Structure 1
Amino acid sequence: MSPTRSADRVTPRTRARRRAATRLGAVTVALGLVGSLLTACSGGSTDAAQPSGKPGGVVIGAVSNGAANQIDVTVPQVDSIRNALPAAVRDSGELSIGIGALPSGYPPLAFIGSDQHTLTGAEPDLGRLVAAVLGLTPVITNATWENLFVGIDSGRTDVGFSNITVTEERKEKYDFATYRKDEIAFEVLKASSWNFDGNYESLAGKKVAVGSGTNQERLLLEWRDKLTAEGKTLDVVYFPDANSINLALASGKIDAYLAPNPSISYHVRQTAGTPKATRVAGTYSGAGSTLQGLIAATTKKGDELVGPLADAINHLITTGVYAKWLAAWNLSAEAVPTSQVNPPGLPRNDS
């Protein structure tokens, strides 16, 4: 089934995109029916994002089932930023936002809400906030990670808000407006006194779980090798799934779990108030020690949309809405001071 979208108005631009989305949906069905139920209810709901009778109103954390602290904010249109938009986007009245969260979603960043319809999460919420600054109706499409980029490449999607890391390879095809740090985090029991201060030596003697084949595993193994050379130990352990890791942490079989900060922050919120509550014991750049990894809004290169997007994000930063958005989703550790256009990205060998 095709990715689904919702909007308050239908324009020629929307109709063309919907015809293209239908063709893409046919290909998706031909490839298989995995995740079809989620696809059927994956469209973002503008009703939940923009309450009736409240121009510029956005509900952050709507229908999140406790993943976020829901708050209402008002984000007035900024004419100077809107006027800088490409004419085709401005005149359409819509901002087509792509999310790559199929088939199962990835809370707290993007997932189907408790109403079984609305695409909620930190990423679609930021897209809705940016659209409000631009005076546009957010039209959100949920697709697979691969089809997210197909949508951007084809022009069906104006911008991707989907935890996309800036890399030098991607910069050849896309423009980026940054909005979060790309961080990994250590999760420990709340009762633990251990903290990671950015120095690998603090890991000596610890037993740490990590996902196989991940960027954080690469960093952890590098730290283990350094400690081994110093005559110290770091026990890196693996488990088949997240539930097994959580049980190991709760039982004391491991000292910490290293994973992307959003997933750690989500689990910390889930365990709050329980006998085995956890906390974040430290974060580190997902790009390693030489570069701060950055997550960015992603557009087709040269389409002249990235500048207004960065301006809109910077407006949200200066007005304090950005900080409220991050805090609502427990992601304040990933705040950036400003949105940058096409900053240095992960080098090709790390992309």
Structure 2
Amino acid sequence: MRTLRLRNRLIRTLTAGTAIATLATGLAACGGDSDAATAKADAQGTVTVGRLSNGAAKETELKVSEVKSISAGLPESVRKSGKLVIGVGALPDGFPPLAYVGSDQKTLTGAEPDFGRLVAAVLGLQPELKNSTWENMFVGIDSSKVDVAISNITDTEERKKKYDFASYRKDNLGFEVLKESTWNFDGDYQNLAGKTVAVDNGTNQEKILLEWQSKLKEEGKQLTVKHFASKNSTYLALTGGKIDAYFAANPGVAYHVTQTAKSPDPTRSAGTYSGAGATLQGLIAATTKKDSGIAKPVADAVNYLIKNGQYAKWLGAWNLSNEAVSTAEVNPPGLPENNS
């Protein structure tokens, strides 16, 4: 997946209006590092996920202690440093619910920073979050200033030439509908026949939706695809009944569902689809410098969190349970080079 395509998918999860202004101001103010209060909590063996999330997550305390059989697998230089430097590419605007500045206007919060803190706890290391632009996050990995990037990075065969991966979440697209709607995608594009679906221009999901539209046309069925100038316009069309569904990056759908929960027009997820297409489940992966020796202990830490239930609680807190994986893998099959 090309960097531009991925950034489009991330940035398009933002909602318009005061939320964007607030997040952008906070990100500019906080720079790049983790806050002392969160670091202190991690050091005491408690990671609070959803902290300062401004309603995007259910705040949940998780007890996580070092697993020495896993931390022993870290490179000696990382063990001696006592910290895990975690790269996040959320500047300048953030991308809720994955990474953005919290309600205190300084703390980097979101599902991805929280997950980095959980992994660091299993490894017995102090988490140090380094927030940067998307491009500079990779520069940080390349220069060994960042141990691991946890920032919605898709596993691709092209990226494997330079990086190692430890998968931890499905790379999914999602359908958002009004809560009162009875329609569900159910993994079958034929269920879109007769529907009107909105999608953002220039995105991976648009490419997939237009392919489905062509297939349905060949079958004598109709799928109407709509584009709107902004997120607000799309959501107004949804609540006004002008569209049946909105097809977007699944984390963005999950975030908007939490934001509408108490509104007059709540929404829900109506199903997901792999961002890699029909033949491969796309995966989001923690990303390390190739042959650094960090990916394997990170994957082991993820599998420990899965086995002991903290992983499910983390995803549940951020309304991302539909992106759970059953196991973390080192360098699993990624998007092929002709589609990355």
Normalised TM-score (structure 1): 0.88
Corresponding letter in the other structure for 2:224: D
* Preserved contact between residue 44 and residue 117 of structure 1 (Cα < 8 Å): no
Cα deviation, 1:130-177, whole Å, max 9, x if unaligned, reads: 000011000001101000101001100000000000001001100000
Distance in 2 between the 1:56 and 1:88 partners? 22
- What's 1:9 paired with? none
CA RMSD of aligned residues (A): 1.2
**Greater relative contact order (Cα 8 A, min sep 6): structure 1 or 2?**
2
Distance in 1 between the 2:259 and 2:82 partners? 38
Cα deviation, 1:253-305, whole Å, max 9, x if unaligned, reads: 11100001100011001111322100001111111110000000000000011
Q: Secondary structure of 2:41's partner? A: coil
How far residue 39 of structure 1 moved from its aligned partner, in angstroms, is 3.1
- What's 1:273 paired with? 262
Does 2:30 align with 1:44? no
Cα deviation, 1:28-47, whole Å, max 9, x if unaligned, reads: xxxxxxx6862331432241
- What's 2:239 paired with? 250
Q: Secondary structure of 1:84's partner? A: coil
Distance in 1 between the 2:26 and 2:195 partners? 42
Q: Secondary structure of 2:136's partner? A: helix
Counterparts of 1:300-339 in structure 2, within 5 Å, are 300-339=289-328
Corresponding letter in the other structure for 1:177: A
Q: Secondary structure of 1:51's partner? A: helix
* Preserved contact between residue 96 and residue 157 of structure 1 (Cα < 8 Å): yes
Specify every segment of 5 or more residues in structure 2 that has no aligned partner in the other structure, as ranges.
1-23
* Preserved contact between residue 257 and residue 268 of structure 2 (Cα < 8 Å): yes
* Preserved contact between residue 26 and residue 106 of structure 2 (Cα < 8 Å): no
Runs of at least 4 residues of structure 1 off by over 2 A? Answer: 35-40, 48-52
Which of 128, 132, 135 pairs up with 1:146? 135
* Preserved contact between residue 50 and residue 58 of structure 1 (Cα < 8 Å): no
Corresponding letter in the other structure for 1:290: T
How far residue 243 of structure 1 moved from its aligned partner, in angstroms, is 1.0
Change (3 A) 1:153 1:116: same
Aligned length: 316
* Preserved contact between residue 195 and residue 222 of structure 2 (Cα < 8 Å): yes
Q: Of the two, which has the highest radius of gyration? A: 1
Q: Secondary structure of 1:39's partner? A: helix
- What's 2:120 paired with? 131
Corresponding letter in the other structure for 1:300: K
* Preserved contact between residue 49 and residue 62 of structure 1 (Cα < 8 Å): no
Does 2:90 align with 1:101? yes
Distance in 1 between the 2:197 and 2:46 partners? 43
Distance in 2 between the 1:289 and 1:173 partners? 26
Cα deviation, 1:69-104, whole Å, max 9, x if unaligned, reads: 001111011111111100000000010000001110
Does 2:174 align with 1:189? no
* Preserved contact between residue 39 and residue 126 of structure 2 (Cα < 8 Å): no
Normalised TM-score (structure 2): 0.91
Counterparts of 1:32-71 in structure 2, within 5 Å, are 38-42=27-31, 43-51=33-41, 55-71=44-60
Specify every segment of 5 or more residues in structure 1 that has no aligned partner in the other structure, as ranges.
1-34
Does 2:273 align with 1:284? yes
How far residue 224 of structure 1 moved from its aligned partner, in angstroms, is 0.2
Distance in 2 between the 1:40 and 1:299 partners? 27
How far residue 320 of structure 1 moved from its aligned partner, in angstroms, is 0.3
Does 2:215 align with 1:233? no
Q: Secondary structure of 2:56's partner? A: coil
Identity of aligned residues (%): 63
Distance in 2 between the 1:326 and 1:272 partners? 18
